[in-house]
Structure 1
Amino acid sequence: MTKIYEKAPAKINLLLDVLRKREDGYHEVEMVMTMVDLADRLEMEELPGDRIVLSSQAGFIPLDEKNLAFQAARLMKERYGVSRGVYIHLDKRIPVAAGLAGGSSDAAAALRGLNRLWKLGLPQSEIEALGAELGSDVPFCIRGGTAFARGRGEVLESIPSPPQCWVVLAKPPINVSTADVYGKLRANELTSHPKAGEMLSAIRRGSFQDVCKALGNVLETVTLERYPEVRQIKDCMIKLGADGVLMSGSGPTVFGILSKETKVARIYNGLRGFCKEVYVARMLT
């Protein structure tokens, strides 16, 4: 029986700006997103009968239609009239509800893998359009690499990768509602916004120092105010010497980027003193 394997890397936002709330209820955003090598892994194989079976070693995620990978399989079956069954095993490594697009990346990996398993021959543009029906981050997770995103996050322009560096990620033991954070954001009242042009220029020049200077996320104005645990992690990373520190997405995960491996252990150990979920990764290039 043929088995298909796909990696589902975590995503971080090097820049996240919210311009306004749109008439369709979404927010108009500008984001610079890239991937790190902290990743889930999906294994897929055909099953007899018209059914979707999802399993995982993680005991804390839904394995039914609440799971985005399950939704991706169902969408692909319905859209292209696939009557064959599929078994998907999800090896979960990305923390859940962390602002790292773990669920979106799982859905993206499922769409890519099922396109191969079922020999549908869909071009990437069509898979990305399918992904946009599942969530704003899914098209980027299908494409991978580094991208400048606009619209509600689905209008993507691929850009060069940032300079290679180490990434330390820390997630406090809280859940943050993305909808709640966006709902409390008053984009039109913000006195300053991160400058996407500066981040794009820094990446294109390959300047790690300028990438650090251009980091910015307007959602921090909401999440850091409401969750002191997130602010504590950010302050700790800065104090321990990370070159650049930012909250990813709506939180609660905070990441620090470092050009030198010698700093990694100090920051990791300093965070582990009060935060259980700390991860060390590399920027994917």
Structure 2
Amino acid sequence: MAGAGGEAAALPQPARPGSPAAPVTPPVIRPAFAKVNLFLDTLEKRPDGYHTLKTLFERIDLADEVALRPIPGSQIRCRCSDPALPADRSNLAVRAAEGYQALLGKPLGVEITLTKRIPMAAGLGGGSSDAAAVLAGLQEMTGGGVDPKALLDLARTLGADVPFFLADVPFAWGEGRGDKIAPADFSVRLRHLLVQPDFPIPTAAVYRGHVLTPFHPDARLLSEAVKTGRVERIRPHLYNALEPSVERLFPAVAGVKRALEEAGLKRPMVSGSGSTVFALCDGREPAAGAMERLSKQHPTWRVWTSQTSGSIPSKPGGRGAA
């Protein structure tokens, strides 16, 4: 057989017995946790079309897994366990890697593998969390190759929730578009039951249809209640200004809330712009009983329990926590 230049093509030689295999760089594997909003108030509509918010994020233990493996050159490849999720630059994880490479100022080839568990268009921040995990993972891979302030600025361009996930804290207040983050020092672990009905809700549609109101509850009351860790004190101060808009545009959400109440769960609330509805639980047993009942009554809904997620560091080649 001849090669392009007319010379015989060299055949690959088999490895000699006992010779060491080429070293394989282990991937950086990070969990990408979901969130719920315990408080979300819309204060005004900004000239850029966004709303000025005040929100309390809580990170929960439902998580995707993001694996980053270095590859030669500058190509960014993405694979995803959910075929419904695009693997091109319309995926926030890919845009995060592109932005990081631009800040780094040199080629950084990477293969991103997303194992999805957080549902899409559900108000749980899955795409934003994946993007933040990519940014944090690439920082780990390069030994902190990008200035932290520049990294935070990049996170803000990717999405309003990305800075919260990048902050790597269980609770935080968000202001501005929700992207100005102040960690909240709550030493509590809350339990929830979450229900995702069988329809997604586009965030943009909810904000377009949202009507501002003059009512703005005192967020400090919720802050003091969360510090106690007592669910009965927290529930009265949960608030989501988007909820009336969500229910007006998607009336079936009211039926989801009613089903949770009939299952014995008090004060169910939409997370973010929906479609997920969640309720705080007093313990594991009531949550398990309600989950069983709702799963039987509504087999097309996704029903699961969660709790506040603490800070869990990642290790190269290690496994993330979900």
Indicate the TM-score class for this superposition, using the shorter chain for normalisation: over 0.9
Bigger shift: residues 248-257 or 207-216: 207-216
Counterpart residue number, 2:103: 79
The aligned amino acid for 1:250 is S
Distance in 2, matches of 1:126 and 1:81, equals 13
Partner SS for 1:75: helix
1:39 maps to a residue whose letter is A
User: 1:184-199 maps to which residues of 2 (within 5 A)?
Assistant: 184-187=209-212, 190=213, 192-199=215-222
Tell me how far apart the structure 2 counterparts of residues 27 and 84 of structure 1 sit (CA, whole Å). Answer: 35
1:123 shift after superposition: 5.5
Name which of 7, 11, 17 aligns with 2:41. Answer: 17
One-letter identity of the residue aligned with 2:173: F
Is 2:204 the counterpart of 1:179?
yes
2:177 paired residue among 126, 129, 152: 152
Distance 2:106 2:64 in 1: 25
Is the 1:168–1:256 Cα contact (8 Å) retained in structure 2?
yes
Is the radius of gyration larger for structure 1 or structure 2?
A: 2
Residue 268 in 1 paired to residue 291 in 2?
yes
- Aligned match of 2:273: 250
Conservation of the 8 A alpha-carbon contact between 2:34 and 2:126: yes
Corresponding position of 1:66: 90
Answer yes or no: is the 8 Å Cα contact 1:163–1:208 preserved in 2: no
- The share of aligned pairs that are identical, in percent, is 33
Matched, 1:99 2:127: no
Cα distance, 1:4 vs. partner?
0.4
In structure 2, list runs of 5 or more residues that go unmatched.
Answer: 1-24, 311-322
Larger displacement relative to structure 2 (92-101 or 159-168): 159-168
Cα distance change of structure 1 residues 43 and 239 upon mapping to structure 2, 3 Å threshold? same
One-letter code of the match for 1:228? P
Q: Summarize the Cα distance change of 1:58–1:35 in structure 2 as closer, same or farther, 3 Å threshold.
A: same
Distance 1:9 1:88, change over 3 A: same
Equivalent-residue separation in structure 1 for 2:127 and 2:133 (angstroms): 10
For 2:65, the equivalent position in structure 1 comes to 41
* Equivalences, count: 283
Question: Separation in 2 of the partners of 1:236 and 1:216?
Answer: 19
Q: CA deviation at 1:121?
A: 4.1
Structure 1 or 2: more strand by fraction? 1
| Cα drift, residue 125 of structure 1 | 4.2
- Aligned residue for 2:249? 226
What is the Cα deviation at residue 198 of structure 1?
1.2
Does 2:160 align with 1:136? yes
Of 29, 40, 44, the residue aligned with 2:53 is 29
Moved more, 54-63 or 170-179: 170-179
When normalised by structure 2's length, the TM-score is 0.83
C-alpha separation between the residues in 1 aligned to 2:214 and 2:155?
Answer: 34
Q: Which moved more, 1:94-103 or 1:160-169?
A: 160-169
Say whether the 8 Å CA contact 2:194–2:304 is kept in structure 1: yes
Q: Which runs of 5+ in 1 are unaligned?
A: none
